């Protein structure tokens, strides 16, 4: 056992109400932290202002309480931490690890040398290196990219096992500040996890592909690398991913019986089979029998 207190976190984007998939991520991260008497934090990842829906952050917090999930400390909001991301970006510039890029997404999509990358967060193709050695004549900078290191980055995921990835091959040089001025998820999450002392990141399996990039940033920014665990994706009955962008239904809120049934469904996906009951009692009982080894490694179909 490590001597450092475990600190976990749940970091939703306030772009709509929580759904079953996000409840699984919240409960999973809560269980991992609380099973070791650790702290559990909540952070609102609200940098992408055009996508933020007014009132969603408060709605998410109310839903967490409704499902028995209480957090430690104040809720951190990324929109209030821009100076910290600027500082991290300045550090990367001083080290020569980022460069300005003039390429538009449309140009990259057309690039014959840019095969599609499995990147659910940024939805980019593998960057072909167009601006790596300087902007083409007459072009203005748009995004800022991190110079992806070559070589394998390996980590042991607490759920899926050993993972290896060469970021330079998988995504190439990736965006850390977008053309619209918004700091990219990859940079902001690394800065925030370090600042909050997060020791373990338990999140949805759709973010597994982001982990190697985040480890690469952690190494050059000289901040600790948390332990990672990626939970099974929750799929709709037709096999599609359950998510806000995919029209997932919000969590039940007014019917206490449905709340209990939905929490039971989330716990079952995490390997804990309990009868619906008061949410707080269910979570207390789940802590007694939760075993990370029972968390499935493959996507699970929503049962509610």
- Model confidence over 221-277: pLDDT tens digits? 999 999 999 999 998 776 666 655 444 567 877 688 999 999 999 999 999 999 999
Whole-angstrom distance, CA of residue 93 vs CA of residue 272: 47
The SS3 of residue 174 is: strand
Residue 131 in any domain: the answer is yes
Q: How confident is the model at residue 111 (pLDDT cuts 50, 70, 90)?
A: confident
Helix axes 82-94, 211-221, angle to 10 degrees: 70
Structure tokens that stand for 225 in this block:
């690398």
Q: Give the DSSP H/E element, type plus range, for residue 102.
A: none
What pairs with residue 100 in β-bridges?
Answer: 144
> Is residue 23 domain-shared with residue 61, that is, in the same domain?
yes
pLDDT at 81: 98
> Is residue 135 domain-shared with residue 214, that is, in the same domain?
no
Residue 209 has pLDDT above 60, yes or no: yes
Residue-wise pLDDT tens digits, 57-105: 999 999 999 999 999 999 999 999 999 999 999 999 999 999 999 998 8
> Is residue 175 domain-shared with residue 198, that is, in the same domain?
no
Residue 122 has pLDDT above 60, yes or no: no
DSSP summary character for residue 111: -
pLDDT at 119: 47
> Is residue 76 domain-shared with residue 197, that is, in the same domain?
yes
pLDDT at 285: 97
pLDDT at 137: 87
Domain that holds residue 164: 82-185
The average confidence (pLDDT) of the chain is: 90
Residue 102 in any domain: the answer is yes
Q: How confident is the model at residue 219 (pLDDT cuts 50, 70, 90)?
A: very high
pLDDT at 247: 43
DSSP summary character for residue 120: T
Domain endpoint, select from 139, 166, 185: 185
Residue-wise pLDDT tens digits, 152-184: 999 999 999 999 999 999 999 999 999 999 999
Residue-wise pLDDT tens digits, 1-54: 456 899 999 999 999 999 999 999 999 999 999 999 999 999 999 999 999 999
Residue 2 in any domain: the answer is no
Residue 1 in any domain: the answer is no
Neighbours of 128 (CB within 10 A): 17
Whether 170 contacts 198, CB under 8 Å: no
pLDDT at 236: 77
What pairs with residue 179 in β-bridges?
Answer: none
Structure tokens that stand for 229 in this block:
């665990």
**What is the CATH number for 94?**
3.40.50.620
In this predicted structure, which of 6-10, 110-114, 128-132, 209-213 has the lowest mean pLDDT?
Answer: 110-114
Average pLDDT over residues 280-297: 96
The residue with tokens 């999450």 is: 189
């Amino acid at each position: 056992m490590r001597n450092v207190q475990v600190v976990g976190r749940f970091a939703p984007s306030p772009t709509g109400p929580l759904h079953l998939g996000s409840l699984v991520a919240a409960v999973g991260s809560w269980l991992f932290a609380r099973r070791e008497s650790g702290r559990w934090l909540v952070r609102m990842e609200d940098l992408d202002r055009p996508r933020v829906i007014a009132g969603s952050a408060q709605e998410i917090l109310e839903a967490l309480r409704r499902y028995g999930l209480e957090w430690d400390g104040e809720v951190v909001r990324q929109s209030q931490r821009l100076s910290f991301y600027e500082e991290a970006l300045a550090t990367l510039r001083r080290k020569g690890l980022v460069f300005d890029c003039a390429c538009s997404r449309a140009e990259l999509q057309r690039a014959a040398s840019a095969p599609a990358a499995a990147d659910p967060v940024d939805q980019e193709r593998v960057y072909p290196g167009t601006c790596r050695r300087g902007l083409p004549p007459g072009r203005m900078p748009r995004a800022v990219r991190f110079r992806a290191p070559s070589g394998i980055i390996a980590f042991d995921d607490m759920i899926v096992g050993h993972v290896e990835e060469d970021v330079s091959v998988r995504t190439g040089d990736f965006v850390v500040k977008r053309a619209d001025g918004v700091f990219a998820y990859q940079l902001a999450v690394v800065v925030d996890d370090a600042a909050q002392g997060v020791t373990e990141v338990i999140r949805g399996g759709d973010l597994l592909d982001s982990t190697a990039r985040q480890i690469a940033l952690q190494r050059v920014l000289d901040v600790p690398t948390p332990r990672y665990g990626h939970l099974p994706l929750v799929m709709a009955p037709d096999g599609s991913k359950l998510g806000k962008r995919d029209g997932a239904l919000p969590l039940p809120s007014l019917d206490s019986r449905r709340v209990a049934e939905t929490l039971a469904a989330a716990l079952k996906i995490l390997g804990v089979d309990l009868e619906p009951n008061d949410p707080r009692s269910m979570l207390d009982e789940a802590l007694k029998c939760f075993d990370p080894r029972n968390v499935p490694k493959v996507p699970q179909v929503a049962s509610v």
